[in-house]
Chain A
């Protein structure tokens, strides 16, 4: 039987040629994609495989809950800090710790800052080369490039001489014969649509963004001591604020606050004057490329993020809303309860793990992580040389998370769809503006480009929100509150013998949850369900396919030996496989 329709309504056909792409590069971690294409080279079946597992959940068992953030932070260095945040929140939730206002502001600032950084690096360094032809940039006219750049933005670095310098640099680089990271790619493919001038502009900004990103993350360095992997603390933040007393120079003081403020201004500038104009310019050439919507038009999920007042998780208090949408019905937004044993569950029927009963899902408080690597009967190759996987059996190191049994898409697009559906001005306004500028209907959002666009809009949203949070924090400090940590329940002796909690966060890639059970002051069970686990998920026992698999279906490939279209759609999710499998 080669043709099926999945429980979530996607038609699959495995009869055509199987194309394997492994490794998928320009992502975090190790991902394999297999697809079947029909005689017209249209993708009719897609298989997403997480290629790695480290066992963090197993490693955390028996450890001190206060140390956990540092372990889980190492789940990922790209979305650095987000797991640490979810972790300290889970412990605080379990122990009933309330964090001070400043700690809440600082955490919000760091997470917003993470959005800005992560989205920017994703757009230019992990995604742009799917749309931008580096070699074509060599034939651009710098003067026209300059005119193009100046027509879309008032970013000052846009003179003809500037673009000529970059072009010369690029020429020498290409002529050296040592192409480095640009070697053996798909340059010249008909799938690239930008004129040379737009390519040159984008390549120039690729380099500029690479130099600038290291400035953005300095907000983490100030509050957390370094980036990547800043420091966090159960009960608040480890940095003390001292603006006007002995020793201020060694704490968060006026000079450092000024630097934070300066970085906020500069990142707003860069996002609004470089990222967004580039995004619009590039998108305008790819408007016809409407593939890749997948699950986004059906099921999307957000846990919500950025509580304005500390310790309050009600939706009104969240700058980025929480909610779920099913079957594309934007008029109904479901409430999400991550404690409800029937809402969030993980399945392993198609994952390299075992459960006692694999027909059922487990809520993460009762989650089990027990590795079990085995290939299905129809896999091709050997255990250590896989040629093709058997997706009817186990085929991924990711579990399959489901919300009320449904596969969900998470991430910037999911958040924007939910925010849009709720009519939140700060989300709906810019989205409508962008759609209007491109002359596209709302339905265009449900696509690869929609995903990429939502990320850009969100980067700008986050850059500006940093300013709001910063100002709120300054006002609070001005009112005399400098507390950053609540240490009342720091000592394990003050904890009850058994406790459980959940820490949620909206990471750059989507809904993130850490569930912890504490017994006799040690971790009894620790389970993480990560944005990329949702999106890159394998199938579940009911046959629902995950967001990556769904998004690839129906996409025509210009040349199945050149996986450019697969890369476009998969990259639009900003995959993080170290996160996904952990």
Chain B
């Protein structure tokens, strides 16, 4: 087998000096929110390792995770694909097709058993024996299981792979199922978002390669480095929220002044993502900055949590029956008040009749 060059070698060969290589490492470290000592660790890792093979599978999805990935500004997607990883299978980008493409999967297993990263975009449907997503005449779920069996770790790209996303929204006709509910024997890093931010995607994958380790995950399996805070915690409109200044309807006076979007349904207070800090497309903007509330696209099941345009929303109670629990509560409280009034009236009536009976007895 040919000599597999390290990331550093590749960079040097591109005419990149050691100085700018180190600068790249410290920028990467800073991008990951880490200090200079980590920059040296990244440098060391990149200097000594061959490019890690990545198999990128697509299930039921919309390919916008891939689209987002290629929007990465730092590092550039072209650098990730050509210099940092070895993208050995990705149906959206690869030159081969048909059985020439499928052969690559077996080749990767042969050469790198237990050593490649499996990146999954989208998810497998389980109804109809999995035939709502067919690849090579077979259900996608089989391909997923097969490639998962031999991988080192899985990255679940986007809300599809992480949670189920739009195709899993009620009534989920295909029984689209997130990766962790199908694959249970491998570590899974969830990178939710519909899609996730480009630099979050490249940040996670470069972290895994540079440190040869999984990022630290939160309770729900998301990398803490990007998903440990709500958008609302870092939102630049937050002073307006605290002040009580809200957009009451789109394009009103408040909207033009940049007031808080809570009343028009912003889900920033309940959404964990990096939008309000990293922002999108090279840190240019993010949904809230452009005037539309956050949809909560990185949260589990965000499609079925009621209107995108109201702060108080429905939720599922008792399985799939959906009800506006808040409304139920309101109705109960109202009923209690009415009930009490009625009971009080009845009590008065009953009391009076008691009295009159007593009076009768006295007679």
Contact = CB atoms under 8 A, between A and B. Distances in A.
Direct A–B touching, Cβ under 8 Å: yes
Interface of A: 20-30, 32, 49, 51-56, 58-59, 64, 66-67, 70-71, 74-78, 80, 121, 125-126, 129, 134, 165, 168-169, 172-173, 175-178, 180-186, 207, 210-211, 213-214, 217-218, 221-231, 233, 235-236, 238-242, 245-251, 371, 373, 381, 383-387, 397, 482-485, 487, 490, 562-563, 567, 578
Given A56-B166, A169-B13, A183-B88, A77 B67 contact: yes
A371 B70 CA distance: 34
Interface in B127-159: 128-140, 142
Interface string B308-332: 1100000000000000000000000
B75 to A, nearest CB: 11
A351 to B, nearest CB: 13
B91 A226 contact: no
Given A54-B166, A214-B281, A180 B86 contact: yes
A242 B134 contact: no
Given A54-B166, A134-B95, A236-B251, A78 B67 contact: yes
B41 interface: no
Contacts of B70: 121, 210, 213-214
B23 interface: no
Nearest to B255: A240
Contacts, number: 336
B96 A30 contact: no
B328 to A, nearest CB: 19
B203 interface: no
A51 B10 CA distance: 38
A387 B97 contact: no
23 contacts: A20-B137, A22-B134, A22-B137, A23-B101, A26-B93, A49-B134, A55-B172, A56-B166, A176-B3, A176-B51, A177-B1, A214-B72, A221-B280, A221-B290, A222-B290, A225-B280, A225-B285, A227-B281, A240-B250, A242-B257, A251-B258, A487-B252, A567-B97
Q: Lowest 10 CB-CB distances: which A-B pairs, in order?
A: A77-B64, A250-B258, A177-B2, A247-B257, A225-B290, A185-B95, A386-B137, A225-B287, A231-B292, A238-B292
Contact of A59 (B15, B93, B170, B291): B170
A96 B3 CA distance: 66
B258 A249 contact: yes
Given A181-B87, A240-B255, A176 B291 contact: no
A381 B176 CA distance: 25
B42 interface: no
Contact of A77 (B62, B102, B142, B295): B62
Nearest to B198: A214
A228 B85 CA distance: 23
B51 A125 contact: no
Contacts of B58: 29-30
Given A23-B101, A26-B97, A222-B284, A52 B72 contact: no
B282 interface: yes
A228 B100 contact: no
A236 B295 contact: no
B220 interface: no
B104 A183 contact: yes
Given A55-B167, A172-B13, A24 B97 contact: yes
Interface in B36-94: 50-51, 53, 58, 60-68, 70-73, 76-78, 81-82, 85-88, 90-94
A177 B3 contact: yes
A386 B104 CA distance: 20
B50 A178 contact: yes
B63 A29 contact: yes
B132 A54 contact: yes
Between B63, B86, B170, B303, the greatest number of chain A beta carbons within 10 A of the residue's beta carbon is seen for B63
B161 interface: no
A224 B289 CA distance: 9
A221 B167 contact: no
A233 B251 CA distance: 11
B286 A32 contact: no
A59 B166 contact: yes
Interface in B257-315: 257-258, 275, 280-282, 284-292, 295, 297, 303, 307-309
Contact of B136 (A23, A222, A223, A224): A23
A74 B62 contact: yes
Contacts of B85: 180
B358 interface: no
A238 B68 CA distance: 22
B134 A25 contact: no
B244 interface: no
B51 A218 contact: no
B194 interface: yes
A246 B15 CA distance: 49
B137 A32 contact: yes
A483 B2 contact: no
B47 to A, nearest CB: 15
Contacts of A74: 62, 64, 165-166, 194
Given A211-B78, A228-B67, A239 B291 contact: yes
Contact of A210 (B53, B78, B88, B101): B78
A74 B94 CA distance: 23
B1 to A, nearest CB: 6
A184 B134 contact: no
Nearest to B197: A226
Contact of B133 (A20, A30, A126, A490): A30
B65 A77 contact: yes
Nearest to A53: B132
B256 interface: yes
Contacts of B9: 172
B81 A21 contact: no
B4 A485 contact: no
B195 interface: yes
B270 to A, nearest CB: 17
Contacts of A67: 307-309
Nearest to A185: B95
Contacts of A55: 167, 172-174
B131 A384 contact: yes
